[in-house]
Each structure stands twice: as C-alpha cells, then as structure tokens.
Amino acid sequence: MTDTTPAARLRAEASVENVGAFPQGFRWGLATAAYQIEGAAHEGGRGPSIWDTFSHTPGLSHHGDTGDIACDHYHRWEADLDLLASLGVTDYRLSVSWSRLQPGGRGDLNPAAVAFYRELLAGLSARGIRPLVTLYHWDLPQPLEEEGGWPVRDTAYRFAEFATKTVEALGDLASDWVTLNEPWCSSFLGYGRGAHAPGRQDYRAAIHAAHHLNLAHGLAVAGIRAARPGASVGITNIVTDIVPATDAPDDAAAALRLDASSNRIFLDPVYLGEYSAAVWDTLGERGLAEVVLDGDLAIIAAPTDFAGVNHYQRVIASHDESQPFDVLEVPAEPATTSFGWSVIPASLTSVLTRVSREFTPLPIYVTENGASYNDYVDPNGDVVDTERVDYLRGYLSAAGDAIEAGVDLRGYYAWSFLDNFEWAEGYSKRFGLVWVDYRTQERIPKLSAHWYRRLIEDHRAAVAHFAA
C-alpha cells in the first residue's frame, strides 16, 4: 500500500534545487553540546559548571529547568549514535565538558571522563561518522568563575591547559577541533546582559571577557598544535546579519557599533590580527583598552585551518541611548521561529560571503544553523515539523548560493541532532531534528530528520552523476 502520510509526501521532495553546487566530500552533519544533552551532572567525577549554578538559581532558567538529566545522553550514547548513523550523516559536532574532564579547572584530567569521551569517539568511528569536537561550549568549571571567570586573564591560560591536555588524551580519535563556541554568548550574554551563565550584568566585564576568550583561543591553538601537529583547528563564531533600521546616519552608526560588538570583536583579531577602528571606537574606552597587552594580537591570530560560522538571525539596529552601546536591536521580520528569530535564508548567503571576502580565505563550515518550533507528537506518533523542513530547505539553498558565489563552504551541521536543554529557555524550545520525550527519553526522528537523510542521499547521487 502506498504511504500517503504528510511525512512520506514531504520525504519524496527532499532536495534543495542547487544540491549539485555542494562539493564532493561535503560534510553533512548534526550538532549538539555537552551540557545540553549529557545529563549525569553528578556522575563520573564531574564537577559543577557555571551552567549548573545558573540553572539551579531560582528564577534564572525557564521553569527552573536544569541540565541535570537533559537527554540522558551520558547513559544512552550508544543508542543515540545508532540513531545518528541511521540518519545518514557523515559528520557530527559535539562538545566535551570541561567540568567533567577537569572539574577543578586545572591539573590532571579526570580518567573517568577521558574514558567516556574515548568510548564515544570510538563509537562514532565504528559507525563511520567523523567528529568535530568543540572544547568549550559555555560550561566553565565553577571554581574558575569563583576566581573571576572570563573577565580575568588567567582563565585564558587555564583554558589553553585544558584544551592541550584534552587533545593529548583524545586526539588519536578526533582530528578536527573547535576551540570555542560563540564567544559572543559567553561574554556578552554571560557577563553583560546576564541572560546566560554566570548571569553577571556588567558590560565592562563582558568586554574584558571577550578579549580573554579571544586570547584563550589563540593560546589553545598553539597548545593543540604542540600536542597533535596534524590536528585541524578553528574557532566557531556566531555571525549575525545586521542592517540599520533606516537610512538615517544615526542608525547606520548604530549598525556599525552592533557589528563591532557582536561580530568584529571576534572576527577581527582571529582573522585580521587586529581590532579594527570600529571595534576600538565602540569598545576601547568601555574596557577593551584595559586588557589588551603587547603581543596578545599575535597570539590570537595564530593560523587556523577553517572558520566555523554559526548563523541564526538578521537583526535591525537603531540608535537608542538607553541601550548598551546605544543600539536597540530587534529581530528582522517577516517570519519568525518560536524564539522570535527571523527566518531570512539570504542572511546566511550574506554572512558566508562576508566572512569569505572580508575576513578569511579559509574553508568555512556552518557549524550551526537551525530553528526552534512548537513541534508536537501527533495522534499517529509522528512529529511533522514542516516549518523546520522549509527552514532547512531555504537555508541550505542559501548556502548553495554562497558556494556558487565562490565561498569555500565545506560542511553544514544542523542545530540540533536532538531536542535539548536550551540554556535559559530550558526545555521550552525545541531545535532538534529528533524529538525527545524528556519524561521517557524516547526519541522520534521528526519529518526534518527524514528530509535531511534524503537530501544527503540526493547529494550523493548528484555527485555520482557529475562524476560519471
């Protein structure tokens, strides 16, 4: 009997029109992060991170949700890897937990954590899936926050030590490493806006944190290269598409300030070896000048092997002196996700071409892109997330446009493999291509997961066709 369910019909029309633009060997991936999926917060010698402290503080996370259990991936990783393999992906981006591997933030690695990640990485290898491992996805060990956290210079050195030891311990099982995920979130959301851990509201501290995160990246690159000379290393930045609200000079200047304080403060030093005038003008007097020491920029600009780009939003900037850096930012319309974020695929083409033309000729990976929607399990037991399918089709087509425009894009990791702990939003926002029932830990691949698998097959067929 023919299957005529919506899922089957949409599966049948999987491809994006320009799938042939994606090169042979393109990495088709899914992404996660340790605190968002692992759970087992008190097992295997793991210590508390700033996210344990933040999420356990009443009023800070949605409904008081925490990552204590999350997707229980720590116990279910084998079945999860089987599921991942069944989705046909070639690649998987995961992060390791600093507070699991080095609970005190310094010294020897915790052998139980090393064993866990070695098994996990070997499990990926056994399934033919290449890992891309992020060393810091926001889970600073709490003891280091108590010593001052990222606003303190020494934290950069602590991270370099952790990164070096981790790559020494795991580098035979993974060759691709991301130092930091989205340092903008760690610094400006964590220490400025206070919406993320550790929840401080001090923009001077946030700017200090931003520079120390950049420094941490550069120091870690050197340590990783020394530990594993063949490793491939890069950093992942969130790159936001920013447009001024009007043609008025004030709004144009506001857009430049927002670009300086969200994009350029991280892209400039890593890829251009400097903080540009826009960054100095916006942030110099607000704290940056106090922390940049002689020699830092050369450390931060250590050559890398690829550029990681996470992209989620276009935002509109207008001049508003009541806001940080005198900029009011609002999400661009028209369509929005359940987070209120814009759905404008051309923004992805725009940020990829910008990174490639203005910042670096390195190969680029979209290390995250995705959307939260109000998914639900229907009476048939299916999760028919047509909005996410449309989102992925649009953004992947936009990625194809960037490739056609000359961007050296080598891979795309959809966020996220599983529904998971969405930080201060707790479990209220679902980004997964796989539904997670948090009560039973049942997993249900959504329509988007079937669609993505079929797209990967379409690409394989297109590559074979052009090779023939």
- Residue 438 CB, shortest distance to ligand IFM, in Å, is 16
Which residue, 385 or 422, has its beta carbon nearer to ligand IFM? 422
- Residue 31 CB, shortest distance to ligand IFM, in Å, is 8
Q: Which is catalytic among the residues 38, 329, 368, 387?
A: 368
- Whether 404 is catalytic is no
- Whether 182 is catalytic is yes
Which residue, 182 or 251, has its beta carbon nearer to ligand IFM? 182
Taking phi first (over 0 means left), then psi (-120 to 50 degrees means alpha), and beta for anything else, what does residue 374 get? beta
Are 204 and 177 in contact by the 8 Å Cβ rule? The answer is no
Taking CB under 6 A as the criterion, which residues in 166-195 touch ligand IFM? 182
- Residue 329 CB, shortest distance to ligand IFM, in Å, is 16
Are 234 and 225 in contact by the 8 Å Cβ rule? The answer is no
Burial 57-80 (b: 16+ CB within 10 A, else e): eeebbeeebbbebbbbbbebbeeb
Q: Following DSSP, what letter does each residue of 280-323 receive, concatenated?
A: IIIIIIIIIHHH--TTHHHHHT---SEEEEE---EEEEEE-TTS
Q: Which residues pair with 131 in a beta bridge?
A: 92
Which residue, 188 or 431, has its beta carbon nearer to ligand IFM? 431
Which residue, 238 or 278, has its beta carbon nearer to ligand IFM? 238
Q: What CA–CA distances, in Å, run from 276 to 257, 280, 289?
A: 12, 6, 13
422 binds ligand IFM (CB under 6 A): yes
415 binds ligand IFM (CB under 6 A): yes
Please select the residue that binds ligand IFM; options are 55, 261, 282, 310, rule is CB under 6 A.
310
Burial 390-403 (b: 16+ CB within 10 A, else e): bbbbbbbbbbbbbb
Sorted by sequence, the CB contacts under 8 Å of residue 11 that are 6+ apart come out as 447, 450, 451, 454
Torsion of CA 183, 432, 425, 202, to 10 degrees: 0
419 binds ligand IFM (CB under 6 A): no
Q: Following DSSP, what letter does each residue of 33-68 receive, concatenated?
A: -HHHH---TTSTTPPPBHHHHHHTSTTSSGGG--SS
Distance CA 466, CA 461 (A): 9
Distance CA 92, CA 206 (A): 31
Sorted by sequence, the CB contacts under 8 Å of residue 287 that are 6+ apart come out as 203, 204, 205, 206, 207, 208
136 binds ligand IFM (CB under 6 A): no
- Residue 66 CB, shortest distance to ligand IFM, in Å, is 15
Say how many residues touch ligand IFM, by CB under 6 A.
Answer: 8
Q: Which is catalytic among the residues 182, 329, 387, 422?
A: 182
116 binds ligand IFM (CB under 6 A): no
Which residue, 22 or 413, has its beta carbon nearer to ligand IFM? 413
Which residue, 34 or 87, has its beta carbon nearer to ligand IFM? 34
33 binds ligand IFM (CB under 6 A): yes
Other CB atoms within 10 Å distance of the CB of residue 175: 17
Residue 460 Cα to chain centre, angstroms: 26
Among 32, 2, 30, residue whose Cα is nearest residue 392: 30
Which residue, 251 or 368, has its beta carbon nearer to ligand IFM? 368
Q: Which residue is nearest to ligand IFM (CB)?
A: 33
Which residue, 145 or 422, has its beta carbon nearer to ligand IFM? 422
313 binds ligand IFM (CB under 6 A): no
Taking CB under 6 A as the criterion, which residues in 343-372 touch ligand IFM? 368
- Residue 367 CB, shortest distance to ligand IFM, in Å, is 9
Sorted by sequence, the CB contacts under 8 Å of residue 75 that are 6+ apart come out as 39, 40
Which residue, 412 or 431, has its beta carbon nearer to ligand IFM? 431
Q: Which residue in this structure is represented by tokens 């997961």?
A: 449
Q: How far apart are the first and last CA of the chain?
A: 35
Distance CA 185, CA 198 (A): 11
- Residue 153 CB, shortest distance to ligand IFM, in Å, is 25
Q: Which residues are catalytic?
A: 182, 368
Instruction: List residues near ligand IFM by CB under 6 A.
Output: 33, 36, 182, 310, 368, 415, 422, 431
